[in-house]
Amino acid sequence: MSRASQTSAWPRAAALAAHLRLASALPVLSSLTCVALYGSTAAAAPALRTSVSTRHAEVNVPFSIELSVMGDDAERGGAFRLILPRGFEMSGPRIATYRSFSIGRTMQQSSGLRATWRVVASKPGTYTIGPPSVQVGSKRYTGDTVKIEVLPAGSGPRRRAPFDPFGLGAPPGFPGLFDDPDDDLNNDDDLFPPAPEEFRTDKALDPLAFIRATATPQTVVVGEPLIYRAYAYGARGPFNELKSNEPTRADFLAYPIVENSMGQDSHRVRIGDTVFTAVKIRETVMVPIKTGDLVIGPISMGFGGSSYAYGIGRGLNRESAAVHVKVIEPPAAGRPVGYTLGDVGNFVLKARVEPRVVEQGDSVSVVVRLEGQGNLPAALKPPQQNGVEWLEPNVQEQIDPSGSSLGGWRRFSYTARITKSGEVELGSFKLPYWNPATKRYETAQADLGSVRV
């Protein structure tokens, strides 16, 4: 090759090398571009989708509204809300997490939340429902509204499975394979978990709404705590409590656990062919203070909501039956000396004495703590010892309902004056009581020891 040819080849070689360097850099630039784009979308707002189980609902027939939230931060979502037109009731939402995968050139994974409300309309018409919304982080995001037509009760078409256009039923051998997932909304027994046993009853006292009151146990001894409960049942979906009147209970001490229905869970209870919405409206620990056939009076309540008594301030009023409790004395056989009628439970006594060395005529502090389950006595009997004078105690207490009984403590702070010299025995505090769990009398005891004077 001539020198001239070599000289002219160098620019071409340099250009080719530059081109190759640029080509090799393109994947890196492309990767950087992708990273930049990904970074810009990482903090993007979540994607929301609103759906409805049917566009043609019926009066008093439940349907579902669903809000799906998708995105990297979707699982941080909470505080779901749904705006309803006047005359609608809802329960829920049920919240579920889900993950989806897509496989193309690469496999992608997305995650999110799904909130489902159960909605019931009380009158026909065309309505706009929503929008539903969700709080993600510090921001609230809103979905779309949906428009539905509500038909009179019984006028809607019979629903068919999505893969059964001719109404022939599910394919043999594959029960439930092609079930419509939204059908669970109209299958009231499957929509919610089974109601707790305490809500179950064999008979509806009224086909529309009623109140059922119970006492457990129904036979007790004087001073033995029992649990009073009242439940409201409505056949037209959710309701709210209006204008309640409390039951009379003159022969009982009362320690409330549930004072109204606010914040209480609602449950679906099938009674015969009807599914009722049931809510606990009262729960109280009661302690009978005398023997006999004692009566807890009826409780009344107004059922509020458009499905029950729309526009009536007191709602649809219902009243329970009175509850009767048989109260007897504990057995006379084996009853210890010093037992006071009404001392029932399981108790422990503890005591502290200070100081242990005093001058004649001085006083000591005696603090006695009574604790346990049951009807804690309001007073104790100090031991009677020569040379010891007891003053009235200062009493502090904390007594709370615990499960189906009472639990807590009372602290009695005594001052005992010592009137003789020598080693003075203070004696023991003793509390005989009836234990309903063991069905026998027992005694709690706290020994005080002696004081040197």
User: Looking at the structure, do residues 443 and 386 belong to the same domain, yes or no?
Assistant: yes
Q: What is the pLDDT of residue 160?
A: 42
Q: How far apart are CA 223 and CA 344, in angstroms?
A: 6
Q: What pLDDT, in 10s, does the model give residues 156-179?
A: 554 444 333 333 343 443 333 334
On whether the CB atoms of residues 152 and 124 are closer than 8 A, the answer is yes
CA triple 348-329-410, angle to 5 deg:
25
Q: Which residues contact 165 (CB under 8 A, 6 or more apart)?
A: none
User: Looking at the structure, do residues 348 and 324 belong to the same domain, yes or no?
Assistant: no
Model confidence at 353: pLDDT above 80 = yes
How large is the average pLDDT for residues 104-109?
Answer: 46
Q: What pLDDT, in 10s, does the model give residues 228-277?
A: 999 999 999 889 898 899 999 999 999 999 999 988 888 999 999 899 99
Task: Give the pairing of strands 274-288 and 292-296.
Answer: unpaired
User: Looking at the structure, do residues 323 and 379 belong to the same domain, yes or no?
Assistant: no
**Residue 204 sits in which domain range?**
192-328
Model confidence at 12: pLDDT above 80 = no
How large is the average pLDDT for residues 326-348?
Answer: 97
b/e map 294-329, b = 16+ CB within 10 Å: bbbbbbbbbbbbbbbbeeeeebbbbebeebebebee
User: Looking at the structure, do residues 242 and 202 belong to the same domain, yes or no?
Assistant: yes
Q: For residue 340, which of 220, 221, 251 has the smallest C-alpha distance? A: 221
Alpha helix locations (H) across 102-159?
A: none
In a domain, 229, yes or no: yes
In a domain, 117, yes or no: yes
In a domain, 230, yes or no: yes
What's the number of domains the chain is made of? Answer: 3
User: Looking at the structure, do residues 81 and 139 belong to the same domain, yes or no?
Assistant: yes
Q: For residue 227, which of 182, 286, 312 has the smallest C-alpha distance? A: 286
Q: What is the pLDDT of residue 155?
A: 67
User: Looking at the structure, do residues 358 and 316 belong to the same domain, yes or no?
Assistant: no
User: Looking at the structure, do residues 317 and 383 belong to the same domain, yes or no?
Assistant: no
Confidence of residue 103 (pLDDT cuts 50, 70, 90): very low
Q: What is the pLDDT of residue 101?
A: 44
Most confident of 20-29, 85-94, 354-363: 354-363
How large is the average pLDDT for residues 50-59?
Answer: 87
Q: How far apart are CA 10 and CA 141, in angstroms?
A: 63
Tokens 């010592």 belong to residue: 418
User: Looking at the structure, do residues 417 and 385 belong to the same domain, yes or no?
Assistant: yes
Query: Cα-atom radius of gyration of the chain, to the nearest Å?
Result: 37
Q: For residue 170, which of 162, 158, 178 has the smallest C-alpha distance? A: 178
How large is the average pLDDT for residues 54-64?
Answer: 87
The CATH number of the domain holding residue 205 is: 2.60.40.10
